Amino acid sequence: MIVNFLKRLVYLILGLHFVFAVYIGLGTLYIKWANPTLSPYMIARANFDVSKIITPQFRPLSSIPTDLTTAIMGVEDPDFYFHNGYSSHKTPLMNANISQKVVRNMFLIPHNNNLGAYLECIGAVEMECLLGKERIFEVFMNYVEWGDNVYGIGEAADYYYKKDLQYLSRTQKLKLASVLANPIEVEPATYRKDKISEARFNLLNSFMN
């Protein structure tokens, strides 16, 4: 009886993994060619009130200032171009890589548990098999959470500074990169109130003179 139960449990777990893999695969193929206006993460974060969500201002990667992308990748995932979606390189300044955060923001709902982190990992590995690095980073820059119902670098620049990306100052760019560590609790104007955000800013400020 115990053996049968364990078999059924294994089949259930494998089945759930298969369903999740299909979900990630289909979703990844969709974002390979399209720029969605919403994601399950955004809807859940807004407590299912879609009217609260500010549609991300999609910006092609080529239109985003290079020093800004360099700063963000430097503190978010310096090994981005060298891993396949899973990276054991975790530091107090970085708790998930860029690919994992794309999976979180495009396909999952807000979480703070090991199951969610596990799904991010396996989803990121699958996504990297279907999407190129440039598109993954482009999706990240346009859909990652930058505040309460604020998504994407274009919207973040407008929301916090009332500016287009091209007119951001060096300090403003570094602040936007820094607060990604805790975008719900910390804004660019208050980054010093969060030790990790402040440490990220100081690190970038010292290396990007």
Residue 195 tokens, joined: 């030790």
Amino acid at 174: L
Residue 16 tokens, joined: 């759930």
Strands (E), the chain: 145-147, 150-151
Q: How many residues does the chain have?
A: 209
Task: Tell me which CATH homologous superfamily contains domain 2-207.
Answer: Biosynthetic peptidoglycan transglycosylase-like (1.10.3810.10)
The residues spanned by each domain of the chain are 2-207
Cβ 15 vs Cβ 27: under 8 Å: no
Q: What is the pLDDT of residue 6?
A: 84
Q: What is the pLDDT of residue 53?
A: 84
- SS3 of residue 81 by DSSP: helix
- Beta-carbon neighbour count of residue 21 at 10 Å? 13
- SS3 of residue 107 by DSSP: helix
Q: What is the pLDDT of residue 92?
A: 54
Which parts of the chain sit beneath pLDDT 70? 88-95, 209
Q: What is the pLDDT of residue 132?
A: 92
Amino acid at 88: S
Q: What is the pLDDT of residue 84?
A: 86
Do the bridges between strand 150-151 and strand 145-147 make them parallel or antiparallel, or are there none, so unpaired? antiparallel
